Amino acid sequence: MTDTTITADAPTGGADSAASVDETLAALTLEEKASLTSGEDFWTTKSAPGVPSIMLTDGPHGVRKQRANGDHLGITDSVPATCFPPAVALGSSWDVTLLERVGIALGEESLAENVGVLLGPGINIKRSPLGGRNFEYLSEDPIASGVLGSALVRGLQSQGVGASLKHFAANNQEADRMRVSADIDERPLREIYLRGFQRVVEDEQPWTVMCSYNRLNGVYTSENPWLLNTVLRDEWGFTGLVVSDWGAVNDRVAGVEAGLDLEMPSSSGRTDAQLVAAVRSGALAESVLDTAARRAIELAFKAVAGARDDASYDVDAHHALAREAAGASIVLLKNDGDLLPLATDASIAVIGELARAPRYQGAGSSLINPTKLDNALDEIRVLAASDAVTFAAGYAADGVDDGALLAEAVAVASAASVAVVFLGVPAEQESEGFDREHIELPAEQLALLDAVIEANANTVVVLSNGGVVRLSGFADRVSAIVEGWLLGQAGGGAVADVLYGEVNPSGRLQETIPVRLQDTAAFLDFPGEHGHVRYGEGLYVGYRWFDAREIAVSFPFGHGLSYTTFDYSDASVSADADGLVVRLTVTNSGPRDGADIVQVYTSLPGSAVVRAPRELKGFAKVSLAAGESRVVEVPVRRADLAYFDTRVDQWVVEGGTYTVEIGASSRDIRATSTVEVEGDAVRVTLDLNSSIGELMAHPVASQFIMQAMASQGDGFTSALMDDPGMFKMMESFPIGRLAGFPGMGIDREQIEQLIAAANAA
């Protein structure tokens, strides 16, 4: 053991875990069972005879374990832990293997602190760039969120520590988050906002799922039986425990009835007593409470079984992993004239207070107390030649205009061959609990940049931000832009690595950078009013919206540059019962080793339902030496081709000729192919309100209706059968109303018989 190794506290309650869950449950009193379904305090569950208490604590990008003498919310004082890059950065790595390794490291640190469940990952969709918690989420796309979220859960739970997949569901804003109703039509709800959760649950079975604060279509998620039982358990097969977000319980009895198993934090016994009273009065079946208590016992037993009294982790090794992850997450947005990477002997003016006082994580419940903290200025000086780097703060940390700082920055920029300007969103503008008001960088920073550009044409911008910022005001006036997000405790070293080419950037955008906030899909429906927010954009979230509307963007979803180049060739697509397999050869045609993200998008021209022009369905990260070629296979699951058919309340793969696009972004398509996909049979139940068009599309009903119309000799039926315009006009006409039209030759009884025969066939 070295001084950089942190070792576990002794786990508690391990001897009790050998008893069977059913035996333990049967021995408990009603009061004891109720007590197991709420917290003992802020971070631990209650114990009961044979049931140990376990600790749950905040993640998702580090272990935020509160010290014993910390504040009551546990936000300002926690034990040191590795602050890995938040999800805004990790998502941009598109690296499944890397995220699993980060998950493993989080598990190791959780074990060392005797934490049984780490609260994360968060995989909600980035609906609007104003979302205050966007830095905790992975993507604007559900497939990317699900795949990457699965990797984090898989890594964490491989160590015997439970994940808490959050925030379930539709937690896409912070404004009025404790009460607001996210009003979403079922198709976008299923295809955009639930799909990532479904992927993680079905693939990885997280130990817990955390319900969100908000209401969903008018019902609090903590007491929503459709969400917690019908969808999560019955349809997806979730076998774990549902825990509330801290303070999310509106009605404890209704919550338990709906499938909420654990209320956190403690209510000091108040809501436990409500459960006991409800059971004794007959308002709540004891069997329902038993189910929640059983899940709490199962969770406690799993956590204790995973605990190790010799658990430890290497602080230096985890810091190195954090630096690797940060380097892989940086997105090189622009690099005119190959200004980057910098030569080590080039004279560099580093400008901006953020270069020496980094902003590396968001504020709120995910605030980590880092074991170490790099800053970019020091790390740049390590890589650069001696005396090659000068520094000027440029702006004050508190945002107050300072003419002397600006003048100093202009002077050092004028004297250097390259100016590297660090800009970013102040911490007070990005936090859990409130949304951003705009996507602008601070005015004093933009004024600094204008002055530096005038002083030095070779200007590089390095960004630090938890959500996208508007770049359209200067993107065409600087030579290079490095999107640094919030990179965790080792982000300063990672930025230096990328600037000097120690790391070849391979990050790609997981959210579109718009030209203006007004161009974004949710602009007119965010954050809502009077307790409701209408998701009026439907399916058209992120790049789906921009591509469908053909709106210009600053940088598209999936975009990112490298210090080398990649060519795609020999693309092909095949279909089988499992879905699609996309094959292509990727060649590193440039001078440096590097990694590319192959992105696969699909569409179905002529679809019977509304679809985006393209949707991400698969991706693969491939690392290649300079000059190397490799055949890459990207599988696309058949389930991911499905849309949710609201007529039959089920997922349906529509048959037809699919277009498969292989690209380096949603707007950089390198190869296109088509493939025939066999569709699922869909039988829609017909009734008197079914339209003529729906009956004509029905394999049985169409035969009956054609025979009935053909037997009539009047002009109307002939026109309906022979005139496409007439049929188009009448195809939405409800069949039941034809009985009242003279000369149709078909009465209501015949129509009812036709419908019954069609439905029975």
Residues 6+ positions from 601 with CB-CB distance below 8 Å: 614, 615, 616, 617, 660, 661, 662, 663, 666, 669
Return the closest-CA partner of residue 180 out of 165, 191, 170.
Answer: 170
| The pLDDT value given to residue 719 | 59
Going by pLDDT thresholds of 50, 70 and 90, the confidence category of residue 222 is very high
Domain regions of the chain by residue span: 28-55+116-306, 315-511, 566-677, 692-760
Going by pLDDT thresholds of 50, 70 and 90, the confidence category of residue 405 is very high
In this structure, are residues 538 and 638 in contact, taking their beta carbons and an 8 Å threshold? no
Torsion of CA 30, 31, 37, 42, to 10 degrees: -170
- Rounded CA-CA distance 366/427 in Å is 13
Check residues 320 and 15 and name the one with the higher pLDDT: 320
- Rounded CA-CA distance 75/409 in Å is 36
Structure tokens at 271: 């809501």
- Rounded CA-CA distance 448/331 in Å is 23
Average pLDDT over residues 296-302: 97
Going by pLDDT thresholds of 50, 70 and 90, the confidence category of residue 731 is confident
Percent of the chain whose predicted confidence (pLDDT) is above 70: 93
Q: Which residues are catalytic?
A: 245
Does residue 241 register a pLDDT over 80?
A: yes
Distance set, CA 334 to CA 237, 475, 476 (Å): 45, 8, 9
Q: pLDDT of 48-73, one tens digit each? A: 999 999 999 999 999 999 986 555 55
- Rounded CA-CA distance 181/187 in Å is 17
Q: pLDDT of 325-361, one tens digit each? A: 999 999 999 999 999 999 999 999 999 999 999 999 9
Return the closest-CA partner of residue 227 out of 199, 190, 187.
Answer: 190
Q: pLDDT of 549-587, one tens digit each? A: 999 999 999 999 999 999 999 999 999 999 999 999 999
The amino acid that residue 514 corresponds to is P
Torsion of CA 603, 604, 606, 609, to 10 degrees: -90
Does residue 377 register a pLDDT over 90?
A: yes
Tokens 């092909």 belong to residue = 572
DSSP state of 686: P
Going by pLDDT thresholds of 50, 70 and 90, the confidence category of residue 17 is very low
Does residue 701 register a pLDDT over 50?
A: yes
Which residue stretches of 142-192 are H helix? 142-157, 186-188
Residues 6+ positions from 497 with CB-CB distance below 8 Å: 323, 327, 379, 383, 503
Most confident of 373-377, 399-403, 689-693, 750-754: 373-377
Distance set, CA 499 to CA 320, 380, 383, 563, 724 (Å): 18, 8, 10, 11, 64
| The pLDDT value given to residue 732 | 86
Percent of the chain whose predicted confidence (pLDDT) is above 90: 84
- Rounded CA-CA distance 240/206 in Å is 7
- Rounded CA-CA distance 487/702 in Å is 60
Q: pLDDT of 22-48, one tens digit each? A: 999 999 999 999 999 999 999 999 999
Does residue 606 register a pLDDT over 90?
A: yes
Which residue stretches of 171-225 are H helix? 186-188, 195-204, 225
CATH for the 315-511 domain, from 1.10.3720.10, 3.20.20.80, 3.40.50.1700, 3.30.43.10: 3.40.50.1700
Residues 6+ positions from 204 with CB-CB distance below 8 Å: 150, 153, 154, 157, 163
| The pLDDT value given to residue 75 | 57
Check residues 506 and 364 and name the one with the higher pLDDT: 506
Neighbours of 659 (CB within 10 A): 17
User: Concatenated DSSP letters for 489-539?
Assistant: TTHHHHHHHHHTTSS------SS-EES-GGGSTTGGGSS-BTTEEE-TTTT
| The pLDDT value given to residue 750 | 78
Neighbours of 530 (CB within 10 A): 8
User: Concatenated DSSP letters for 167-180?
Assistant: EETT----TTTTT-
- Rounded CA-CA distance 679/682 in Å is 9
Structure tokens at 415: 């004297």
Q: pLDDT of 141-167, one tens digit each? A: 999 999 999 999 999 999 999 999 999
Element (H, E) at 100: helix 96-112
| The pLDDT value given to residue 176 | 96
Q: pLDDT of 84-102, one tens digit each? A: 999 999 999 999 999 999 9
| The pLDDT value given to residue 743 | 62
In this structure, are residues 630 and 622 in contact, taking their beta carbons and an 8 Å threshold? yes
Is residue 5 left, alpha or beta, with left meaning phi > 0 and alpha meaning psi from -120 to 50?
beta
Q: How far does Cα 371 stand from its chain's mean position?
A: 27
Going by pLDDT thresholds of 50, 70 and 90, the confidence category of residue 74 is low
Asked which of 158-162, 191-195, 522-526, 748-752 is least confident by mean pLDDT, the reply is: 748-752
- Rounded CA-CA distance 175/131 in Å is 9
Report the mean per-residue pLDDT for the chain.
93
Largest CA distance in the chain: 97
Element (H, E) at 751: helix 748-760
Tokens 């001084």 belong to residue = 3
- Rounded CA-CA distance 78/361 in Å is 15
Neighbours of 366 (CB within 10 A): 25
Which fold, 566-677? Immunoglobulin-like (2.60.40)
In this structure, are residues 65 and 290 in contact, taking their beta carbons and an 8 Å threshold? no
| The pLDDT value given to residue 699 | 76
Which residue stretches of 609-700 are H helix? 692-697
Does residue 708 register a pLDDT over 80?
A: no
Q: How far does Cα 391 stand from its chain's mean position?
A: 37
Residues 6+ positions from 659 with CB-CB distance below 8 Å: 602, 603, 604, 605, 672, 673, 674
Positive or negative: CA dihedral 441, 445, 451, 453 = negative
Does residue 246 register a pLDDT over 80?
A: yes
Structure tokens at 529: 């009013």
- Rounded CA-CA distance 84/105 in Å is 9
Asked which of 274-278, 585-589, 697-701 is least confident by mean pLDDT, the reply is: 697-701
Is residue 140 left, alpha or beta, with left meaning phi > 0 and alpha meaning psi from -120 to 50?
alpha
* 434 burial via Cβ count (<10 Å: 0-12, 13-18, 19+): middle
Going by pLDDT thresholds of 50, 70 and 90, the confidence category of residue 2 is very low
Structure tokens at 270: 């108040």
**Separation of first and last alpha carbons in the chain:** 73
Q: How far does Cα 467 stand from its chain's mean position?
A: 13
Structure tokens at 715: 């002009």
Check residues 127 and 711 and name the one with the higher pLDDT: 127
- Rounded CA-CA distance 210/165 in Å is 6
| The pLDDT value given to residue 722 | 66
Residues 6+ positions from 331 with CB-CB distance below 8 Å: 92, 482, 483, 485, 505, 507, 508, 509, 559, 560
Which fold, 28-55+116-306? TIM Barrel (3.20.20)
- Rounded CA-CA distance 412/349 in Å is 6
Rounded (to 5) percent helix, strand, coil in the chain:
35, 20, 40
Distance set, CA 19 to CA 22, 39, 50, 574 (Å): 9, 22, 7, 51
